[in-house]
Structure 1
Amino acid sequence: MTTAAIIGGGVIGGGWAARFLLNGWDVRVFDPDPQAERKIGEVLANARRALPSLYDKALPPEGKLSFHADMAEAVSDAVWIQESVPERLDLKHKIHKLIQQHAPRDAILGSSTSGFKPSELQEGALNPGQIIVAHPFNPVYLLPLVELVPSAATPDAVTQRASALLTSVGMKPLVVRKEIDAHIADRLLEAVWREGLWLIKDGICTTEELDDAIRFGFGLRWAQMGLFETYRIAGGEAGMKHFMAQFGPALEWPWTKLMDVPEFTDELVDLIASQSDAQSGHMSIRDLERLRDDNLVGMMRALKKSGSGAGGTINSHEAMLPDPEPADLPVTVSRRIPQSWTDYNGHMNEAKYLEAAAQATDRFMEMIGCDAEYIASGGSYFTVESHVRFLNEMHEGDALTITTQVLKGEGKKMHLFHRLLGSDGKLAATVETLLLHMDMKARVSALPSDEVAARLTAYATAHAGMPLPEGAGRHVGQKV
């Protein structure tokens, strides 16, 4: 197991702990807060519910989580150490010095700081080149972006290794070319935040109306294309040059108050706090977090399908995840059930049983050589008929494992029987499906390639000695 040490177990530190833990790392936490274990436990519960829902393959088995009263014990033998203490430079210097007295010299010491430059963090350090800014975004266990900021004193090898380690746990490291206060993303957020404060102070809108302007409009565009690609489209066929020529002069108009900050008077604070309470005070913070996570999973899974934005990061990480160990029957699906697969009864929607079985069929097709390259060449299997038996409930977050048995594999036909197993290993459903091999150019049935036929025959022969599965050959309404 690879070990990560988390120094500071607040919202960000807890998110880091969950990110590493759910990707198979052992995690040691140091935080003097007596409530740290409870707080991280609550963050981890949300992470266990949300992160696996992004993937169609199983994440690695969880690592071991431990809490330590001794910082030296927490950082010993750690490969990655993440500091997430409050934003006080003197405190960070003190903590870094203590860490470096006990940590392995080749461990990476990442700081979650949102504002300090790495050169400031490295001042007076025992090993300056070990320290790098690794600024994540909340929730850390779900959002992939992490701003990785080196200084002139940071060896390239450290930056490259840090980037590789973060990529291995499903994150998207953005290496900042030059260190700057607040890095990249927070400078953009600060600009929107400042302007938002003025709009509310001047009575132009409420907190809810300002949030509506973001979430019903440009926020949806930004999730997939960011700022400049969005504006490129706004320029029409003429592209970015046309957009800048058309809207560039507006930058000189006196629209913004970005260079000024409204004074944080008691009246302004009370105004914003009261509007925020009216907007979402009916929900607890944990309920809001779960709502946020469910929405993020839904949007990120949509992006996953197209490979856009964060979806591309999920696809790349998923390709790194190992396939299940081989068994008598091949495991063709191993994943968690996402929230979006459940219905008003609280269990997996009946259509999703068939969707899961379709994923199992696709995986089995890959196993016999009918993969994306083969399909692009003009051959594939098309489903002719399926029969589903619903035997047990499955709920969000449950582990889903599917095994596939070949009942027949000869000529143009491929006859499969999928067993859907729940977290307890009990049979939750079976899906029997018959497929025909097709010539996709002529759109008629045809024999598969010799290689695909040979692989299918090998599975059919291996499975021929197995008993016919219970439920095979059934039809709707047949008596038990």
Structure 2
Amino acid sequence: MMERVALIGGGVIGGGWAARLLLNGVSVCLYDPAPKASQHMHDVLQNAERAYAKLGIAIVPATFSVATSVAEAVADAKWIIESAPENIKTKRKIYAEIEDTAPETAVIASSTSGLRPSDLQADMQRPERLLVAHPFNPVYLLPLVEVVNGARTAPAVIDRAMAFYSALGMYPLRVKKEIDAFIADRLLEAVWREGLWLVHDDVATTQDIDDAIRYGFGLRWAQMGLFETYRLAGGEAGMRHFLQQFGPSLRWPWTKLMDVPPLDEVLIEKIVAQSDAQSGEYSIRDLERRRDDNLIAILQALKANQWGAGKTLAAWEKQRRQKLDDNSTEPLLTLSRRVPAHWADMNGHMNESRYLECFSDATEALMRHIGADDDYIASGYSYFTAETHLCHLQETVIDECIVVHTQVLGAADKKLHLFHQLKDENGNTLATGEHFLIHVNLQTRRACPPLPSVRAAADLLAQAHAALPNPPDIGRAIKSI
């Protein structure tokens, strides 16, 4: 992962990039001439931290700074993300400023939603380092980023980009052929044009159109997309049957996709009035948080089913846990997060169930560290918790940054003995959890020794941690191995 990324432009997309980078432990230097850029960044980051807490994604601290010029922002950056307005002259001017100051090896990634990278490269001294990486709002939650090369983009730069965005928990979609507006926006443009006509012709209001999407095919699209949805519509005979059955209707004069209604004041006023009636009771920040909450619920459901964007989320979580692994001679850092508001009890403290949730997540992180991960479980083996003892020492309050450090007290034969310490950002111990686990064959549902690789990793940690002092109060409810 990059040590520092320069951001040129901190609007909706630039702010989203900053949040995703910062919460993945990547330091960011922003340049944006807008007077309220820093305040906007603060608002976006607050929303992103709230969303990550709900997702359970560990936040890795990083530094954020604001530059007073393009030159200052890019001076020692290895990766530069340009999110300036969609004006090709403006973007080319920015690239000239970047090339005057940035290291020659720095990659320049444009967030443009439709301009071809070959056109953006036209006046560059080193065009081989520019590509398009088009994200989707909110950038800190939605995993898709369209990666597009220009005529003179170096293949190695594209390879670097695919690895870079994957490391941020994103799904980099390689656009195979350079084209205006790429893939996703061309599809959105088709729906948008038809929506404008439906409003223009008084067939539907803005809310009618949004309801048709969110209560109907939008839910299917969220997890199957377009073609897989229609494959199902073909029944047992699949896509061929669907095309034979519905293909002729494509010649019917239903759509106005090749034409756009005049966006005159009458239509603009109609759309604005209907949109105000639909959503005007909410502030933009309220809508953003409602959007994020709904996206989180969908992403978590897809993750549980290992499908679509949920697979990307699961891989990202696994990657974050691996990054939290500490020096094996010390207790492992197995969890890092902020306490969300919905974890509060009636006293405003973190409720009892969430302590166990934190320690459960920490146990899973430890299991992944020793190789008892998803692939291991798929092979038919895992650890089951047999006993747990929690001790609450201090109050844990909402919005507090917390971490869990895990010590392996013993690993013998089928047994695994763990001790978790939940701490605040100042190192104060808030709670402890002692856990006794048994290794199980998932087919027979009986205890059995772990496979050699997992046993060796568990033994290694137990030996390394044997030199550590015994935690206080161990063995109250669980006998030492």
How many Å separate the matches in 2 of 1:378 and 1:197?
Answer: 53
Q: CA shift at 1:285, angstroms?
A: 1.0
| Cα separation, 2, equivalents of 1:340 and 1:232 | 42
- C-alpha contact (below 8 Å) 1:409/1:415 kept by paired residues: yes
Q: Name 1:15's counterpart in structure 2.
A: 16
Tell me whether 1:226 sits opposite 2:228 in the alignment: no
Q: Show CA shifts across 1:233-277 (max 9, x none).
A: 222221111111122122112221212211112222122112211
Structure 2 CA distance for partners of 1:177 and 1:126, relative to 1, 3 Å: same
User: What is the distance in 1 between the residues matched to 2:370 and 2:168?
Assistant: 30
Alignment correspondent of 2:60: 60
1:473 and 2:472 are equivalent in the alignment: no
For 2:303 and 2:423, the matched residues in 1 are separated by 25
Alignment partner of 1:130 is 2:129: yes
Change (3 A) 1:155 1:420: same
Contact 2:301 2:310 in 1 (8 A): yes
- Residue 351 of structure 1 corresponds to 353
- 2:432 corresponds in structure 1 to 430
Correspondence 1:213 to 2:212 = yes
Change over 3 Å in CA distance of 1:214–1:38 after alignment to 2: same
* Number of the residue aligned with 1:195: 194
1:320 Cα deviation from its structure 2 partner: 3.8
Distance (whole Å) between structure 1 residues aligned to residue 238 and residue 89 of structure 2: 48
2-structure distance, mates of 1:78, 1:457: 42
Contact 1:55 1:335 in 2 (8 A): no
Cα shift at 1:326: 3.1
List per-residue Cα deviations over 1:176-229 (Å, max 9, x = no partner): 111111111111111111111122222222222221211222222222221111
Deviates more, 1:289-298 or 1:321-330: 321-330
Q: How far is 1:26 from its partner?
A: 2.7
1:10-43 CA-partner distances (Å, limit 9, x unpaired): 1112222222222233322222222222222222
The separation in 1 between residues aligned to 2:152 and 2:471, in whole angstroms, is 66
The runs of 5 or more residues in structure 2 that have no matched partner are: none
Instruction: Confirm whether residue 139 of structure 1 aligns to residue 138 of structure 2.
Output: yes
Amino acid at match of 1:428: L
Aligned to 2:314: 315
Percent identity between matched residues is 51
Contact 1:147 1:175 in 2 (8 A): yes
**Cα distance in 1 between the residues matched to 2:350 and 2:44:** 24
Whole-Å separation in 1 of the counterparts to 2:120 and 2:461: 59
Give the structure-2-normalised TM-score. Answer: 0.87
Q: Which amino acid aligns with 1:96?
A: Y
Q: For residue 31 of structure 1, what is the aligned residue in structure 2?
A: 32
CA–CA distance in structure 2, aligned partners of residues 92 and 379 of structure 1:
54
1:171 aligns with 2:170: yes
Question: Structure 1's 416 and 134: CA in aligned 2 closer, same or farther, altered over 3 A?
Answer: closer
The structure-2 alpha-carbon separation of the partners of 1:418 and 1:191, relative to structure 1 and needing over 3 Å to count, comes to: same
Partner secondary structure for residue 254 of structure 1 = coil
- Taking a change above 3 Å as real, the CA distance of residues 177 and 368 of structure 1, as seen in their structure-2 partners, is closer
- Change in CA separation of 1:426 and 1:306 when aligned onto 2, cut-off 3 Å: farther
Letter in 2 for 1:97: A
Give the equivalent residue in structure 2 for 1:325: 326
Is this contact kept in 1: 2:335–2:362, CA < 8 A?
no
Q: How does 1:9-408 map to 2 (within 5 A)?
A: 9-51=10-52, 53-56=54-57, 58-62=58-62, 64-321=63-320, 322-326=323-327, 330-331=331-332, 333-337=334-338, 339=340, 342=343, 345=346, 348-366=350-368, 370-371=372-373, 375=377, 378-394=380-396, 398-405=400-407
SS in 2 for 1:20: helix
Q: 1:302 to 1:427 in 2, by over 3 A?
A: farther
Secondary structure at the counterpart of residue 384 of structure 2: strand
Give me the whole-angstrom Cα distance separating, in 2, the residues matched to 1:340 and 1:251.
50
Cα distance between partner residues in 1 of 2:86 and 2:311:
32
Change (3 A) 1:256 1:59: same
Following the alignment from structure 1 to structure 2, what is the Cα–Cα distance between the partners of residues 460 and 101?
A: 54
TM-score (norm 1): 0.87
Q: Structure 2 vs 1, CA of residues 179 and 420 (structure 1 numbering), >3 Å: closer, same or farther?
A: same
Distance 1:314 1:182 in 2: 26
Partner secondary structure for residue 315 of structure 2: helix
Supply the AA of the counterpart residue of 2:60.
P
RMSD: 3.1
Work out whether residues 337 and 397 of structure 1, in 8 Å CA contact, stay in contact via their aligned partners in 2.
Answer: yes
Deviation (angstroms), 1:154: 1.6
User: Which 10-residue stretch deviates more, 12-21 or 334-343?
Assistant: 334-343
Partner SS state of residue 354, structure 1: helix
| CA distance in structure 2 between the partners assigned to 1:33 and 1:468 by the alignment | 53
Structure 1: state its 5+ residue gaps: 476-480
Q: Distance in 2 between matches of 1:166 and 1:403?
A: 29
Distance 2:125 2:369 in 1: 52
The answer to whether the Cα contact below 8 Å between 2:335 and 2:405 also exists between their aligned partners in 1 is no
The structure with higher relative contact order (CA 8 Å, sep 6+) is 1
1:478 equivalent in structure 2: none
